[in-house]
Amino acid sequence: MIAVSDVHHHIGQAQILRDITLTLPAGKITALIGPNGAGKSTLLSLVARLTPLQQGQITVAGLDVQRAPSRELARTMAILPQNVAVFSRLRVRELVAFGRWPHHQGRPGPQDAAKVAAALHDMGLDDLSHRFLDQLSGGQRQRAHLAMALAQDTPWLLLDEPLAALDMAHARALMQTLARLRDSGKSIVMVLHEVNYAAAWADHVVALKAGRVLAHGTPETVFAPDVLGALYDTRLRVIRQDGRPLVLHHL
Amino acid sequence: MIVLRARPLVLMVLALIPLALASLLIGVADLSGAQGGLILSISRWPRTLAVMLTGAALAVAGVVMQELVRNRFVEPGTTGTGEAAALGLLLATLAFPEAGIGTRMIAASLGGLAGTAVFLSLIRHLPPQEVLLIPLTGLIWSGVLGAVVLHIGWQTDLIQLVGIWLMTGEFSGVIAGRYELLWIAGLAAGLALFAADRLAILGLGDGVARGLGLNPEAVMRLGLVIVAVVTAMVMATVGMIPFLGLVVPNIVSRVMGDNLRASLPVTALAGAGLLLTCDIIGRLLIFPYELPVSTVLGVLGAGVFLWLLWRRPGHD
Ligand SMILES: Nc1ncnc2c1ncn2[C@@H]1O[C@H](COP(=O)(O)OP(=O)(O)O)[C@@H](O)[C@H]1O
Ligand SMILES: [Mg+2]
């Protein structure tokens, strides 16, 4: 599990996160939701030790993210940051292969090649693997970065808005892949912009607003109309579809 | 697959051999005379080696700089590294006139290191999507440093020395015993080959690098040392040579991408080949006189670079 305790974060004078104490369950898909600027990306990048922790403590599978060796952390969690932009002119396969770095540190073996091939396949990139990244569309590039995170093959997968730029079919395919990974024992934490993906696929939901946890728990508890309405400051309706909440907000 | 990867490398080696032979054969003195062997070992061979080491090292340093800054339009000659190294060398020469070559080279490298570090902190807050702001800042910074070096040079009557460092890179004065520092530049560039994966991962961004368990600051420091040492050695031995670190990496990247593990050896050989070509042209054009290699490269390099800029669709 991921344990976040007593985390505060500020940038300059602005308080970005206040008093966050949470546990995120292992073996589940956890969705982080909340309005723009709520602090979702900040929280995820603190967990992934991309941003230095200012106060509090975070452990991932028992490893203190501030103290554990960086290679061990890299074999425990993979992170897809929000809006990654890459200047390098790499082929898709070369980018994805870098995901194996924490395991082989420069001496890739046949097992590494197999994981790269599997990740490319899972993201539907078989036919694009020899293309340069600058010859891809935004969504294809996003899938290449996702494949890199998948190739890292870590027990924990942290994804910041992985569906951003993906079309419906690829978004659904990604969620199915993630559900399959969850069923094989992996743990996934993802920031989701579109609440209905969280409603349909997440096992656990954390709702952040203005740097605080507004609610967390099963989709059933978080997707109550009054909770969700307060979260996004908007009028909406929640119905049930196939045993899952479905949010209607085009009213 | 492996064959395909090896091909540019093989091609480069095959191109370099006739160039090196030509460089050994071209000159006023007749190699078939009694002094032929001596001329070869004292002058032609050192010159050919010096040109190749310089070309390879500068091209690699260009790539390293571009990965550190994540911008294609920089090289040590346009980020103040050369001028800062010259400043370090000048100050050491003034402060310790008796100092040996080792001390002065360390001073030059430290100068280059400091100058490049300042450049990196200058550009840290520039918006990354404004691709041309970074080289522009570099040009201004190197202009400022160059002016300081020239001013101190005037004041201390060392302007001639400074002129040799900063202005025209050329190899006509290279003989055995006067180029060996370039081996250090070659070694520093060799270090980049060993760190190719790390440098390539750093180029993907600090976040990605950290996520893969790399310490971006440590890789950054290594890259800085490589760039500073290469630049300092070249500047002090043959003078600054513009454009090479810009043109060669850009062309190689166009052709084979930025997977440095595969592309860096090709870049090194291409740098050696291009500089050797320019040196040979410089020696032939007004034979038996010579044009400085940096002049030839300046014309050729500026042309190639304008072409690169023109055919590159803005930002991709
Ligand atoms: N560099 C920065 N300087 C000042 N404020 C920032 C900076 N980066 C982010 N913020 C602020 O932090 C808050 C949280 O940002 P973020 O975690 O990216 O939100 P989101 O929930 O949309 O992912 C936002 O209000 C944003 O304006
Ligand atoms: Mg965000």
**What local confidence, expressed as pLDDT, does residue B316 receive?**
40
What pLDDT digit, counting tens, does each position of A43-83 carry?
A: 999 999 999 999 999 999 999 999 999 999 999 999 999 88
**What local confidence, expressed as pLDDT, does residue B311 receive?**
67
B299: which 2 tokens? 């014309």
Q: Are A149 and A159 in contact (CB under 8 A)?
A: yes
Alpha carbon of B211: minimum distance to chain A alpha carbons (Å)? 6
Instruction: Let me know if residue A130 belongs to a domain.
Output: yes
**What local confidence, expressed as pLDDT, does residue B165 receive?**
86
Instruction: Let me know if residue A161 belongs to a domain.
Output: yes
Q: Check CB contact under 8 Å for B259 and A90.
A: yes
**What local confidence, expressed as pLDDT, does residue B110 receive?**
96
| Residue closest by Cα to atom 2 of ligand 1 | A11
Q: How far apart are CA A93 and CA A214, in angstroms?
A: 41
User: How many distinct structural domains can be found in chain B?
Assistant: 1
Q: Check CB contact under 8 Å for A99 and B197.
A: no
Same domain, A57 and A91: no
Same domain, A1 and A72: yes
Q: How far apart are CA A152 and CA A143, in angstroms?
A: 14
Instruction: Let me know if residue B165 belongs to a domain.
Output: yes
Q: Ligand 1: does its nearest atom lie under 6 Å from the Cβ of A39?
A: yes
* Backbone dihedral angles phi then psi of residue B77, each to the nearest 5 degrees: -80, -15
Same domain, A63 and A101: no
| Residue closest by Cα to atom 20 of ligand 1 | A37
**What local confidence, expressed as pLDDT, does residue A234 receive?**
86
Residue ranges of chain B with pLDDT lower than 50?
A: 1-3, 314-316
Q: How far apart are CA B85 and CA B107, in angstroms?
A: 8
| Spatial CB neighbours of B289, under 8 Å, sequence gap ≥ 6 | none
Q: Which domain holds residue B154?
A: 2-16+44-308
Q: How far apart are CA B138 and CA A9, in angstroms?
A: 34
Of chain B, the end-to-end C-alpha distance in Å amounts to 27
| Spatial CB neighbours of A143, under 8 Å, sequence gap ≥ 6 | A123, A124, A125, A166, A170, A174
Instruction: Let me know if residue A36 belongs to a domain.
Output: yes
Q: Ligand 1: does its nearest atom lie under 6 Å from the Cβ of A186?
A: no
**What local confidence, expressed as pLDDT, does residue B1 receive?**
43
Give the model's confidence band at A236: pLDDT under 50 very low, under 70 low, under 90 confident, else very high: confident
Instruction: Let me know if residue B74 belongs to a domain.
Output: yes
Instruction: Let me know if residue B21 belongs to a domain.
Output: no
Of chain A, the end-to-end C-alpha distance in Å amounts to 38
Q: Ligand 1: does its nearest atom lie under 6 Å from the Cβ of A85?
A: no
Average pLDDT, chain A: 93
How much is the average pLDDT of A210-234?
91
Instruction: Let me know if residue A239 belongs to a domain.
Output: no
What pLDDT digit, counting tens, does each position of A118-128 carry?
A: 999 999 999 99
What pLDDT digit, counting tens, does each position of A162-182 carry?
A: 998 899 999 999 999 999 999
Q: Which domain holds residue A105?
A: 83-153
Same domain, A120 and A102: yes
Q: Check CB contact under 8 Å for A88 and B204.
A: yes
CB pairs under 8 A between A and B: 77
| Residue closest by Cα to atom 17 of ligand 1 | A39
Ligand 1 atom at minimal distance to the Cα of residue A160: 23
Same domain, A69 and A162: yes
Q: How far is the CA of B127 from the centre of ligand 1 (A)?
A: 17
Same domain, A5 and A110: no
Ligand 1 atom at minimal distance to the Cα of residue A161: 23
Q: Which of B68, B125, B204, B261 is most worth mutating to test chain A (most A CB atoms within 10 A of its CB)?
A: B204
- The residue among B93, B46, B106 whose CA lies nearest residue B238 is B46
Q: Are A60 and A77 in contact (CB under 8 A)?
A: yes
A99 and chain B in contact, CB less than 8 A? yes
Same domain, A164 and A59: yes
Same domain, A148 and A162: no
Q: How far apart are CA A184 and CA B60, in angstroms?
A: 44
Same domain, A164 and A148: no
Task: Give the CATH number, domain containing residue A213.
Answer: 3.40.50.300
Cβ-Cβ contacts under 8 Å, A137 against chain B: none
Q: Ligand 1: does its nearest atom lie under 6 Å from the Cβ of A40?
A: yes
Q: Check CB contact under 8 Å for A70 and B203.
A: no
Q: How far apart are CA B97 and CA B107, in angstroms?
A: 13
List the helix and strand counts (H, then E) for chain B.
14, 0
Ligand 1 atom at minimal distance to the Cα of residue A82: 23
Task: Give the CATH number, domain containing residue B296.
Answer: 1.10.3470.10
Instruction: Let me know if residue B251 belongs to a domain.
Output: yes
**What local confidence, expressed as pLDDT, does residue B268 receive?**
97
Instruction: Let me know if residue B25 belongs to a domain.
Output: no
User: How many distinct structural domains can be found in chain A?
Assistant: 2
**What local confidence, expressed as pLDDT, does residue A34 receive?**
95
Q: How far is the CA of A40 from the centre of ligand 2 (A)?
A: 6
pTM: 0.91
What pLDDT digit, counting tens, does each position of A145-159 carry?
A: 999 999 999 999 999
DSSP secondary structure code for residue A78 in this structure = E
Cβ burial of B293 (10 Å; 0-12, 13-18, 19+) is buried
Q: How far apart are CA A213 and CA B25, in angstroms?
A: 77
Same domain, A28 and A60: yes
Q: How far apart are CA B59 and CA B53, in angstroms?
A: 10
Instruction: Let me know if residue B36 belongs to a domain.
Output: no
Ligand 1 atom at minimal distance to the Cα of residue A36: 22
Same domain, A89 and A114: yes
DSSP secondary structure code for residue B290 in this structure = -
Instruction: Give, in degrees to the nearest 5, the angle at Cα B188 between B183 and B190.
Output: 90
Q: Examine residue B288 and say whether the peptide bond preceding it is cis (omega within 30 degrees of 0).
A: yes
Chain B residue set in contact with A, beta carbons under 8 Å: 67, 70-72, 128, 197, 200-201, 203-208, 210-215, 253-254, 257-259, 316
A137 → chain B, closest CA residue: B316
Instruction: Let me know if residue A66 belongs to a domain.
Output: yes
* Backbone dihedral angles phi then psi of residue A131, each to the nearest 5 degrees: -80, 150
